[in-house]
Every structure is written in structure tokens, then in C-alpha cells.
């Protein structure tokens, strides 16, 4: 019989994996992996601001992630290369957040839990937030699926069809910020981007359609969560990194399978 905390951890991880699957596919298709990392790094700054101002952490993280996304969009259109903007903002936000947390003398904070996650400490309230956010993201992705896909594959065709690519990018940014906000408890700031990108990248060699890739990414993400939890329990290793390591192994396996299928 599994302990209650393990069941809650598994449910939390499955919720995050389901939310991250469709969004991770768009991140891979748009080649925006570093964008997800920059948004995730901004979360630690949101945590610091929430503690300093006495605000709830989840809304503060969500707002900070959205502000980061807005800053990236604004600066990328002013002559800076996207990778340069992302590099400057991602590392600056993380460093400022860490310094701000260190300056909060009256606040005791388990910084490692925010950096690498503490999925085993998830409670029922956290589960409600995670699954509420996951269902909201899935609903948004389902609603905007056709428009998002068209804007991602061919922006010119999207404009000709009356679809505003900037609006669809904003919708994806909102979903990304929501995933970062709910996933920080599970895998932490430093590993959120990995959970977004690796399952989607692992599903790509075995998928023939976008819908199949999303379903494959969801299954791989859920498998990584359950396998990582089992490995952490068996080997007494950190849970968040164990989940990401399992996802990396699945990526290696699907890449090899895709290469073998191509030769056959």
C-alpha cells in the first residue's frame, strides 16, 4: 500500500506532465526552449517579491513570469537577438531573485525546494492548484489549438486566414506562465524547462502528426514522473532531478528507436 504522500506526489507530477505536454510541443516547434527557461527563472524573483510584500506566492510567480515574457517580447523587437535577450533576462532574474531572498533576514525559506522542487511535500491544497492550473492550460490549448498550430507553422498563412500570430503567442505565453507557477512546487525553477522540453523532444521521433506528438509527450511526461518517483524512492535520490533524469533516459530511448526505424 502506497503512503498518502506518495500518492499526492504522483498526482501532482501527473498534473504537471499533462499541462506541460501540449505547451512543450509548441516550445519545441517554435524553438523557444530558452524562452521557457527564462520564464521559469523569473519565478524565483516572484517568490522573493511575494515574501517581501507579504503576498501569496502563486499569483506573484504568475505575474512575474508574465512580466518576463512581456520584457522578452519588447526587447526582441529592438535590435537585440532573441538568444541574447533571453540570456540576459534569464540569468539576471534568477540572480536578482536569489539576492533578494538572501536579504530577507526575517524570512526562513527552503531555497532548494524552490530551485529543485519538493514534490513529496505536496498537500491537498497544492493538488487543487496544480490540477486547476493544468485543466486551465489544457482548456486554453484545446480552444486555441488550430490557430496556435497555424501561427506556429506558417505566420503568413495565419495572417491570410485572419489569425493574429502575436495574439496566439500571447496565449501561449499566458499558458507557459501558468505552467511555471504550478510546476514550481513539483520540479523547481531550474528543472521546469526540462520537463517542458524533454518529453516533447522525446515524442518527436515517433510522431507523424502534431496531435500524436502531444499525446506522446503527455505519456512520456507521465512515465518520467512515475519512473522518477520510483527511482527516488529506491535509490534515495532527489525527486525532481530523478524525474528529469528519467525523462532524459526516455528521450535517449525514443531517439534510438527513431533512428532504427529510419534505417529499417
Structural domain includes residue 183? yes
Q: Using DSSP, state whether 186 is helix, strand or coil.
A: coil
Residues 150-168 pLDDT 10s: 888 888 888 888 888 888 8
**Strand, helix or coil at 1?**
coil
In a domain, 217, yes or no: no
Displacement of CA 147 from its chain's centroid (Å): 21
Q: What is the pLDDT of residues 88-132, one digit of tens each?
A: 877 888 888 888 777 776 666 666 777 777 888 888 888 888 888
User: Does residue 116 lie in a domain region?
Assistant: yes
- Number of domains comprising the chain: 1
Task: Judge whether 152 lies within some domain.
Answer: yes
**How does the average pLDDT of the chain come out, rounded?**
82
The mean-pLDDT minimum among 7-21, 121-135, 183-197 falls in 183-197
CA distance 131 to 93: 27
Give me the domain span that covers residue 24: 4-190
CATH number at residue 161: 1.10.3470.10
In a domain, 11, yes or no: yes
Amino acid at each position: 500500500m502506497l503512503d498518502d504522500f506518495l500518492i499526492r506526489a504522483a498526482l501532482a507530477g501527473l498534473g504537471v506532465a499533462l499541462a506541460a505536454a501540449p505547451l512543450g510541443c509548441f516550445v519545441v516547434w517554435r524553438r523557444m526552449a530558452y524562452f521557457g527557461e527564462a520564464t521559469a527563472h523569473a519565478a524565483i524573483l516572484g517568490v522573493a517579491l511575494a515574501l517581501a510584500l507579504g503576498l501569496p506566492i502563486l499569483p506573484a510567480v504568475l505575474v512575474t513570469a508574465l512580466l518576463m515574457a512581456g520584457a522578452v517580447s519588447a526587447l526582441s523587437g529592438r535590435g537585440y537577438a532573441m538568444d541574447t535577450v533571453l540570456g540576459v533576462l534569464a540569468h539576471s532574474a534568477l540572480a536578482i531573485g536569489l539576492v533578494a531572498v538572501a536579504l530577507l533576514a526575517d524570512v526562513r525559506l527552503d531555497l532548494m525546494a524552490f530551485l529543485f522542487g519538493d514534490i513529496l511535500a505536496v498537500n491537498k491544497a497544492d493538488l487543487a492548484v496544480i490540477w486547476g492550473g493544468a485543466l486551465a492550460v489544457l482548456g486554453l490549448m484545446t480552444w486555441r489549438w488550430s490557430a496556435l498550430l497555424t501561427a506556429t507553422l506558417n505566420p503568413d498563412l495565419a495572417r491570410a486566414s485572419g489569425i493574429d500570430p502575436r495574439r496566439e503567442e500571447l496565449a501561449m505565453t499566458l499558458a507557459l506562465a501558468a505552467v511555471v507557477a504550478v510546476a514550481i512546487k513539483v520540479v523547481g525553477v531550474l528543472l521546469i524547462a526540462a520537463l517542458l522540453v524533454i518529453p516533447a523532444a522525446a515524442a518527436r521521433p515517433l510522431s507523424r502528426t502534431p496531435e500524436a506528438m502531444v499525446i506522446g509527450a503527455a505519456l512520456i511526461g507521465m512515465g518520467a514522473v512515475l519512473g522518477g518517483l520510483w527511482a527516488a524512492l529506491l535509490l534515495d535520490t532527489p525527486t525532481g532531478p530523478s524525474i528529469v533524469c528519467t525523462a532524459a533516459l526516455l528521450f535517449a530511448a525514443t531517439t534510438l528507436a527513431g533512428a532504427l526505424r529510419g534505417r529499417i
